[in-house]
Homo-oligomer: A and B are copies of this chain.
Amino acid sequence: MLQSVSLSQYDLVYNAFSFTIAVMGAATAFLFLNRSQVAPVYRTAISISGLVTFIAMYHYIRIAASWTESFIVKSGQVTPSGVLFNDAYRYVDWLLTVPLLLIELILVMKLSRSETVAKATKLGTLAALMVIMGYPGEISTDSGTRWLWWSLSMIPFLVIVYDLFFGLKNSIDSQPESARGLVSSARYVTVVSWLFYPIVFTLPMLGFAGGEATTAVQVGYTIADIVSKAGFGILIYMIAVRKSESEAEHAQSDVVGLSPKPTAV
């Protein structure tokens, strides 16, 4: 499905991939290093945010290598090498990272254990289903087949987005004042960055063709990945920091003069 691209398109896509490797690597290091800055109860959420960017970094290294192998660049001319670009890297990446992204958001909300397990199971399963149903469409060049799988994949997509956007709305009131704005942002960032994917997917069905379609799809998915993984991970970190601070203040005011301050909340 990879068509010939111009030299500037080839470079643009390659540089976007390389940029993403750097961003994901940096986000991973930041999240792993600063994990201890948040209260213990939020550390799993931060670890998982770092895992998401770590897994994405790995796949972008593979994606960039596959891109290089797919073309022969000589004297300013780009010709397909005959080795196919491996679209599957993105899908195996999403199969792992999308459920994890949902889990980091659920964990930072600090619901009860049973609610956490129920929500993570439901949304994680739907996310996996969504990714799996997208793949047969992605590797097809037939517009009808692409639309069919796109539509099927949109069913779990809409359920997840609806659940996050409206389901989380109710739990915002139970968040501490200082974190409320950020939790609300997280909802919007999720919905807006997620909407990128089904739109990018349809570009080849909407008149984009040849090198233009390839470039638009690759750069589009890359931007969406940066926002929804690295950007979102940092947002989750900031929420966890605010919540840790507010809970520490609370705990302290509860025990003033009564007993030694608990060290972990």
Chain B residues near A62 (CB, 8 Å)?
Answer: 18
CB contact list, A30-89 vs B, under 8 A: 30, 32-35, 37, 40, 43-44, 47-48, 50-51, 54-55, 58-59, 62, 73-76, 82-84, 86, 88-89
Chain B residues near A35 (CB, 8 Å)?
Answer: 33
Which range holds the interface residue count of chain A? Answer: 35 or more
Closest chain-B Cβ to A250's Cβ sits at a distance in Å of 17
User: Which of the listed residues A58, A84, A92 has the most CB atoms from chain B within 10 Å of its own CB?
Assistant: A92
Q: Taking the full assembly, how many copies of this chain does it contain?
A: 2
Interface flag for A19 (CB, 8 Å): yes
Q: Which of A20-28, A160-168, A195-203 is found at the contact surface with chain B?
A: A20-28
Report Cα–Cα, A21/B44, bound state, in Å.
21
Interface flag for A254 (CB, 8 Å): no
Interface flag for A122 (CB, 8 Å): no
Partner of A58, one of B22, B47, B54, B96: B22
List 3 tightest A-B contacts by C-beta distance, closest first: A19-B92, A15-B88, A26-B51
5 examples of A-B residue contacts, CB within 8 angstroms: A15-B92, A18-B92, A26-B55, A73-B83, A74-B83
